[in-house]
Amino acid sequence: MTVTKLLRPALAATLLASITACGASSVPDVPAGTTTGSGSAETRRSANPEPVAATMPDVIGGNAGRAHEQMSSTIDMVFEDASGQGRPVDDPAAWKICNSQPGPNQQITDFPVVFGVVTVSESCEDTVPE
C-alpha cells in the first residue's frame, strides 16, 4: 500500500473539517515553498498541532452509549454524573446525556469533550447546574 493511499482518509477528514468550520477558507494554508505530492503532508506537520475544530452534534437527551460509539474514534470524551452524586459512569449505555461541553452546534476546540449524564431512569431536570 502506498503512502498516498494511507493518507487519503486523513486528508479527506482534514478537508471536511476545514470546509465545515465556521469562517474557514476553502484554500489550504500551505507555505509558498511547499511542494505538492505524496510527501507534502509530512512537510506541513507541526510539532504542536492544534485540535481540529469540529461541530458538536446535538446529542442532548440521547443515549450516552450511542454517542460514545459514534464519536469515540475521533473525539476524546468524558462522561460525568450530572446528578451531583459523583457516581462512576462505567457503562455509558445505561446513561442519557443531559448537557455537553461544548454545547450543541458549537465548535469543539478543546479536549476532552464532557458529557453530563444521568441514568436512563432519571430526569435531566434533577441535575446540578454546570
Looking only at the bridges linking them, the beta strands covering 77-81 and 113-119 are parallel
pLDDT band at 103 (very low <50, low <70, confident <90, very high): very high
pTM value is: 0.58
Confidence class for position 130, pLDDT limits 50, 70, 90: low
Please give the average per-residue pLDDT across 26-34, as a whole number: 47
C-alpha cell at 58: 446535538
Whether pLDDT at 127 is above 80: no
Among 49, 50, 53, which Cα is nearest to 20's?
A: 53
Q: Which tens digits make up the pLDDT trace of 58-86?
A: 999 999 999 999 886 778 899 999 999 99
